Amino acid sequence: MSALAAMLARDLRVAVRVGGGALIGVLFFLVVVTLTPLALGPDLALLQRIGPAILWLAALLANLLALDRLFAADHEDGSLDLIMTGRAPLELVVAVKGLAQWLTTGLPLVIATPPIGLFLNLDAKAEGALVLTLLVGTPGLTFIGLIGAALAVTLRRGGLLLAVLVLPLTVPVLIFGVAAANAAVMGPVPFGTPFTILCAFTLASIVVGPFAAAAALRQEME
Partner 1 sequence: MAVIDLANPSRFLGFANRIIPWLGALTLVVFAFAISRAMNAPDDYQQGATVKIMYLHVPGAWLGMLGWGLMTMAALGTLVWRHPLADVAAKAAAPIGAAFTFICLVTGSLWGRPMWGTYWVWDARLTSVLVLFLLYLGVIALWRTVEDPSRAARAAAILTLVGALDLPIIKFSVDWWNTLHQPASVLRLGAPTIDPSILIPLLISALAFTLLFAVLLLAAMRNEILRRRVRTLRLLQASTAS
Kindly list the residues in this chain that would bind partner 1 in the complex (CB under 8 A). Answer: 147, 151, 155-157, 161, 164-165, 168-169, 171-172, 175-176, 179, 189, 194, 197, 201, 204, 208, 212, 215-216, 219-220, 222
CB of 31 to partner 1, least distance (A): 26
Over the range 62-75, which residues count as b (16 or more CB within 10 Å of their CB) and which as e?
bbbbbbbbbbbebb
Nearer to partner 1, 29 or 195 (CB): 195
CB of 162 to partner 1, least distance (A): 10
CB of 5 to partner 1, least distance (A): 28
Nearer to partner 1, 103 or 155 (CB): 155
Nearer to partner 1, 8 or 208 (CB): 208
CB of 42 to partner 1, least distance (A): 26
Nearer to partner 1, 106 or 172 (CB): 172
Nearer to partner 1, 27 or 221 (CB): 221
CB of 191 to partner 1, least distance (A): 13
